[in-house]
Amino acid sequence: MDLLAAHHGPHAPPRWHAEADQGGGRERARQGMVQIGQGAPPPGDPRAPEAIRSCARPLHMRPVRHSCSRGRRPQRQSLYCTARRHDGFSPVTEEESGPSHGGRTRLRARIRRPGDVNRPWRRRLAGAAAGIIGCQCRGAVLAPRNAARRARPASCFGSGSFTTDHAMATNDNVNRRDFLRGVTLASMGMGLLVEEITEAQQKPAEQPAGPPVNVGVIGLGPRGREILASLAKLGPGAPVVALCDTFQAPVFLKKATVLAPKAAVHSDYKVLLSQKDVQAVFVATPTHKHRQIVLDALQAGKHVYCEAPLAHTVEEAKAIAQAAKAAKTVFQAGLQQRCNGQTVHVSYFVRSGAAGKLAGARAQWHKRTSWRQTWPSSDREAELNWRLRRETSPGLLGEIAIHQFDIASWYFKNLPTAVTGFGGIMEYADGRTVHDTVQCVLEFPRNLRLLYDATLVNSFDDAYELFLGSDAALMLRDLRGWMFKEPGAGQLGWEVFARKDLLQVGKPENGTGLALGTGIALVADATKQLALGQEPGKVGTDVSRTALFQAVEVFIKSARAGKRVPVREPTTERPNPPLAPGAEEGYQATVVALKANEAALAGSRIEFQKDLFVL
């Protein structure tokens, strides 16, 4: 199929035509004037399909003058563009441009796929290739509105900050050979931008909720309330019908009941489990209380979401996992990063080899906080501070690092073989027996290592995961991700048009700072943005959908289906996305975190026996 941008003379019908003339044409180009489809109404016209209007709206062009090769109408405004395409549909295999009759410009982007010639997604793709993904131009640039403006610093990163430049500048080094090389690499799964476009075509913007899943929440502390807030966002599809906590002070309960005003409130979790309308339960109690609650919930025939770690000892974690595997209901471990669309998105880059040969990884979690809570009653205060005692708490490595360790095991496609840990109480000498600062090294097969540190003493540089490869470094910061390419690395094709975020300290241009690198933004939820007619490069990842919210949403879908469901919707390119984390994933992650904490407490090295991970 050919997507032809041409206008052969004044009487030819308009077809995929992007035009920039002198005078009024320049103004039309500046306003994003695009004609789409033979005989189709212009963008913005209510007669035009919504998908076309949403793609056409953001297109803006900055033309320059050049002489026509035929000598006719010299100094005519025209454009020369090459559109790039990558993913499982097969790449753009031909691009050509040149002056045509009347000095007008011709753009051809040939996309091959058997059958389905006139599907609406093709119109959407062409609009996206011209305006959303972007076009590499000679003599002109197609870019979003305000493309030349530089945004204010977007976020703290490393020892500096990001500034964003949306300009898609021309690149004279990108020729046909580089183009085809880029799309060949991209077709191997290394580029995912167009996958999001096709995914948007394969499902409606809003999926029907289906029958509601009645929910109970056990444990109404900070984590339980975060779960309730996520459930509230899901609306009528996940009504909270029961709440439970052993502490029944009105001032405490009010923080939860305001999020679930119609729920029955219990002090005994067994009463909640006996409530017949409860179909699924979230266990958000302190870690050392998980075991019996989860076992009883599974025995009662409830779907169970258990926060990570599963337990504070390996023995109790194994008991939970074994019962969950034997149950006929859904069990989901609270490894929320496995449900985080951003983490899943970046995993494709790591696991497909887009970063080159992996050399290792490092991660951290820094937050200035004591972990200590106060309450007028000494008994209640002791109960609140369970995290400060070794007998009830797996410490920073068990409560926090478990999620980051799990990402490393997932990305490396292997469980660790050994761990060496260190730690100490550096600041809070208040009677606690759990370290406030820890470091560890996780050893993996193929001589890979994860270097990790966490502290409650200092907040600098917050939290991240960084994977280092021979071609690029990939960094995750919860709902955001970047790729930092090595200077000699080959192009994957799509990154030429992606948003670039500059990592810097101070103002290097004034001699008072240092430019550390430029990250290519990896946007996970481009599907939703495209459906709304937005530009992923400008909007970025939807940070309102926290990792916890996504985990809660996946669990509700699993409970509704009666089985674990994929964390992302399957697509033609990605027909087998990962499933929601279950008993085995939860158990293995818990074992790694508990053994790391054990090594840090002893200041020693512990080797993992293979049978330790087997249920």
In a domain, residue 483? The reply is yes
Which of 84, 119, 142 is at the close of a domain?
142
Examine residue 164 and state whether it is found in any structural domain, yes or no.
no
Please give the average per-residue pLDDT across 398-426, as a whole number: 97
pTM to 2 decimal places: 0.69
- Whether 106 has a pLDDT exceeding 80, the answer reads no
Sign of CA dihedral 181, 183, 184, 189: positive
pLDDT at 541: 60
| Angstrom distance (rounded) from CA 336 to CA 343 | 10
Percent of the chain at pLDDT > 70 equals: 63
Is 58 domain-assigned?
yes
Residue pLDDT, tens place only, 499-544: 889 888 888 888 888 988 889 998 876 544 444 455 555 555 667 7
When pLDDT is averaged across residues 52-56 and rounded to a whole number, the result is: 37
Tokens of 379: 């008994």
Alpha carbon distance 485, 360 (integer Å) = 16
Chain centroid, CA 18 distance in Å: 33
Say whether pLDDT at 92 is over 70. Answer: no
Residue 299 has pLDDT above 90, yes or no: yes
Q: Is the pLDDT of residue 25 over 70?
A: no
Domain CATH number, residue 496:
3.30.360.10
Distance CA 283, CA 244 (A): 10
Q: What is the pLDDT of residue 540?
A: 54
Residue at a domain's end among 96, 114, 142: 142
More confident residue, 396 or 89: 396
Element spanning 591, H or E:
helix 583-602
Q: Are 6 and 100 contacting, i.e. CB atoms less than 8 angstroms apart? A: yes
Residue 507: what pLDDT? 86
Q: What pLDDT is attached to residue 503?
A: 87
Q: Is the dihedral of CA 147, 148, 150, 155 positive or negative?
A: positive
Q: Assess if residue 159 is contained within a domain.
A: no
List all residues 6 or more positions away from 285 whose beta carbon is below 8 Å from its beta carbon: 218, 219, 221, 293
More confident residue, 362 or 44: 362
Residue 30 has pLDDT above 50, yes or no: no
Region 572-579: mean pLDDT is 88
Whole-number mean pLDDT of the chain? 74
pLDDT of residue 525: 60
Report if residue 184 sits inside a domain.
no
Q: Which helix (H) or strand (E) holds 588?
A: helix 583-602
Please write the tens of the pLDDT for every residue from 387-406.
999 999 999 999 999 999 99
User: Binning pLDDT at 50, 70 and 90, where does residue 589 land?
Assistant: very high
Per-residue pLDDT at 490 = 81
Is the pLDDT score of 9 beyond 70? no
- Please name which of 574, 475, 491 lies closest in space to residue 186, comparing C-alpha atoms: 491
Give residues with Cβ within 8 angstroms of 483, minimum separation 6: 349, 354, 355, 472, 473, 474, 495, 519, 520, 522
Residue type, 129: A
Q: What is the mean pLDDT of residues 564-582?
A: 91
Choose among 275, 223, 230: nearest CA to 556: 230
pLDDT at 154: 37
> Has residue 124 been placed in a domain?
yes
Q: If pLDDT is split at 50, 70 and 90, which confidence band does 446 have?
A: very high
Give the structural domain span for 474. Answer: 338-523+531-546+577-613
**Is 312 or 530 the better-scoring residue by pLDDT?**
312
pLDDT digits (tens, 9 = 90+) for 196-206: 333 333 333 34
E strand segments, 190-253: 215-218, 240-244
Per the structure, the count of domains in the chain is: 2
What is the pLDDT at residue 429?
Answer: 94
Residue 406, both tokens: 């799990």
Last residue of a domain, one of 142, 168, 189: 142
Residue 598: inside a domain: yes
The region of weakest confidence among 113-122, 134-143, 152-161, 210-219 is 134-143
Say which range, 59-68, 283-292, 298-307, has the weakest mean pLDDT: 59-68
SS3 for 108-137 is: EEEECCCCCCCCHHHHHHHHHHHHHCCEEE
251-268 pLDDT per residue, tens:
999 999 999 999 999 999
Is residue 14 domain-resident?
yes
Burial pattern 337-352, b for ≥16 Cβ within 10 A else e, equals bbbbbbbbbbbbbbee
- Determine if the peptide bond prior to 309 is cis (ω within 30°): yes
